[in-house]
Amino acid sequence: MIRDLHEKLVGGEITAVSLTEKYLQAIEAKDGEIGAYLTVLREQALREAASVDEQLKRGETIDLLAGIPGAIKDNICVAQVRTTAGSKILDSYIAPYDAAVVEKLKGKESVVLGKTNMDEFAMGSSTENSAYQKTKNPVDILRVPGGSSGGSAAAVAGGEAVWALGSDTGGSIRQPASFCGVVGLKPTYGRVSRSGLIAMASSLDQIGPLGVSVEDVAIVFSRIAGFDKKDATTAPSGNDKPFEDYLTGDIKGLSIGIPKEYFSESLDPRVRAVTDQAIERFKTLGATVKEISLPHSQYALPVYYIIMPCEVSSNLARFDGIKYGMRVNDVKDSLTHTSALLETYLDTRRVGFGTEVKRRVMLGTYALSAGYYDAYYLKAQKVRSLIKKDFEEAFKQVDLIFSPTTPEPAFRFGEKGDDPLKMYLSDIYTVTANLAGIPAISFPMGTIEEDGKALPIGGQLSAKWFDEETLLRAADAFEKSFK
């Protein structure tokens, strides 16, 4: 889609302003029902689009992404724009600067339509945990869009944006991409700067793109990847690499591993059937498929749900009612009386944080406390190293690893809200990529019929560290043959 729109812009068939107005009209017509956006930047978007049209009038060469309207998850800072991370505690926070990825996108003259809804501080798998609204799945508005980047996935799937950015801590790009029938990429940890991303769990978070096609995702990814001196965890690889140029459609000779641990009896048989069909399709495209083992993957969820809350507990300590964001109680009294200061901390968090955030902060604080650090956090980090070694061994045998993205299609609203453990199981196939730091992509591989709806099922490919080229090439080849 992006390439086609670019050619129309350059050929004079459309203008950036008319294209942007088309998507703004779609937001106005649809978003009252879908609820993908928290903030719409109408005037800013039209100014950005008009700037691109002026360049075209002058005969200047523009980037593939110039003038193409997209959306940004609301935990990624956009200068002088309200940035809430889906939480009341940041209800009035205006970001003073652009996140590194936004700075790069603006440098390419892309158009930002607005900020998308999300689970509060990215904690959730359904976007039901937003402090503001519930985003609905455009495929079936009675079902969740997934989370925590549900707003971004719904905006793309609902035709309210060409592309979107999300963040992925344990599957928060890939799972909603699967539920909404779009493509979502979690890059290698360190491939994309996290500067300007409101942190949830710093060793797991990674910004990535969503789009309707693998090529669209590759185009956006090419423009946000690369080293950033403001983020010490970024790697000096990928700068200005055109990942869209690697989409040859040819995967003959590639080897794909199927982890036997991912195909237990607990997998929905309908999802298993769609996955088996996808495996056969990869074979017809010339790839070799073999069974592999990831023996420690059975521990991935418990490891993730120890490490992640511990990092959440540390990162969210900054929201204390003093530094920035919401404040409850009088500041003067808080600063002069210890008891009043404690009350400010407690009351601000009690009012400002939602139930899921409080739950994870408490779990993390407990696991990091004296007497429990070694028993929980330290042990979880050791098992995390074993999970990473499993992938190192697997990638000596195969180029890619394939599985379903989720064990089921999108579920209905309220279906899992009262059972956090049941909700956490939505991440069973996705958390391993974050724990190991490897890249992974979700792409549509089929549908299953339920309640008269064709519900999308996503397939997940993962690759060795910094091998997004192979990952994108294989997903693109499948997509082209599938269509």
Active site residues per annotation: 73, 148, 172
Q: Which residue, chain included where needed, has tokens 């696991």? A: 367
Q: Check: CB of residue 180 under 8 Å from CB of residue 154.
A: yes
- Phi/psi of residue 21, each to 5°? -60, -35
Rounded CA separation 447/273 (Å): 10
Structure tokens at 347: 């009351």
Q: What are phi and psi of 464, to 5 degrees?
A: -70, 165
- Residue owning tokens 């992006």: 2
Separation between Cα atoms, residue 94 and residue 84, nearest integer Å: 8
ω into residue 148 within 30 of 0, thus cis?
yes
CA distance 282 to 257: 11
- Cα angle: 61, vertex 64, 65; to 5 degrees: 115
Question: What tokens were used for 139?
Answer: 């495929």
How far apart (Å, rounded) are the C-alpha atoms in residues 381 and 186? 21
Name beta bridge partners: 70.
Answer: 112, 163
For tokens 């926070």, the residue is 93
